[in-house]
Amino acid sequence: MSTTAATSATEVAIRRASSADADGVFALVAQLSETYDVERSAFDAAFEDAVEHPTRNVLLVAENGDRILGYALMTVARLMYTRADAAQIQELIVDEGHRGLGIGSRLVWAVEDICLELGLQQLTVASSRAPAFYDRLDFRSTADYLKKVFRSE
């Protein structure tokens, strides 16, 4: 029996990340290496910032036993056009072998619960890779997401 078949979303715990989760989260980020140039030192700085500033960064992990199967990074910011702070899911990754089991949905629902606890009225996500996933979770497209990358020489 494969590990994937043995794991269900109900056997997965969702919790805030701690510094001890860095290697497990990095292993998930490394799965993006075909799309992004993943550098451990840059990851470590960003991970530490997310864990050390929990009021502006919410980093959640999905774990089964001692294995991190997914994570969600949400940021909170005061926008000029909103009456209160707004949140955005910046990153959501589930291990390739555990996708389709409801782990990503549970991470999003946990983010939504935190938004409600904080009194936030808006949660956004920019995703061209998984629009059907977010559509199933009642997210609606309101704008195009455009990006410009600056390269340092």
Does the structure show a pLDDT above 90 at 81?
no
> Using CA atoms, how far apart are residues 25 and 71, in angstroms rounded to an integer?
7
Whether this prediction's pTM lies above 0.85 is answered by no
pLDDT above 70 coverage of the chain, percent:
88
DSSP E strand stretches across the chain: 13-16, 57-64, 67-78, 85-94, 123-125
pLDDT digit string, tens, across residues 95-112:
999 999 999 999 999 999
What CATH number has the domain spanning 9-136? 3.40.630.30
pLDDT above 90 coverage of the chain, percent:
53
Domain boundaries, the chain: 9-136
DSSP tag of 42: H
Q: HSE, CB side, 13 Å, CA atoms: give it for residue 71.
A: 28
pLDDT digit string, tens, across residues 132-141:
787 888 777 7
Over range 16-41, report the average pLDDT: 90
